[in-house]
Amino acid sequence: MEGPVELVTDDGTVVVSDRFLVAVCTCRRSKLFPLCDTSHRKRIRKSSNQD
């Protein structure tokens, strides 16, 4: 999305970002949720296939 952006969460909290480009978090791992801070990139995914 292009900013400025105003998001309203399920509990009614309003989050405003005036950045030019805004990413909305869909994985819920962000410390800035509902905005994305790329926290999901730091987590190492465990393989379900163990050899």
In a domain, 19, yes or no: yes
pTM more than 0.75:
no
In a domain, 47, yes or no: no
Write phi, then psi, for 47 (nearest 5 degrees): -75, 140
3-46: per-residue pLDDT in tens? 688 989 889 999 998 888 888 888 888 888 888 888 777 666 66
Number of domains comprising the chain: 1
In a domain, 30, yes or no: yes
Find out whether 5 and 25 touch, Cβ atoms under 8 Å.
no
Query: In the chain, what percentage of residues exceed pLDDT 90?
Result: 12
In a domain, 8, yes or no: yes
In a domain, 2, yes or no: yes
In a domain, 13, yes or no: yes
In a domain, 5, yes or no: yes
Question: Which residues in 29-40 are b (16+ Cβ under 10 Å) and which e?
Answer: ebeebbbbeeee
DSSP string, 3-44: SSEEEE-TTS-EEEE--SB--B-SSS--TTTTB--SGGGGSP
Q: Tell me the residue range of the domain where 11 lies.
A: 1-41
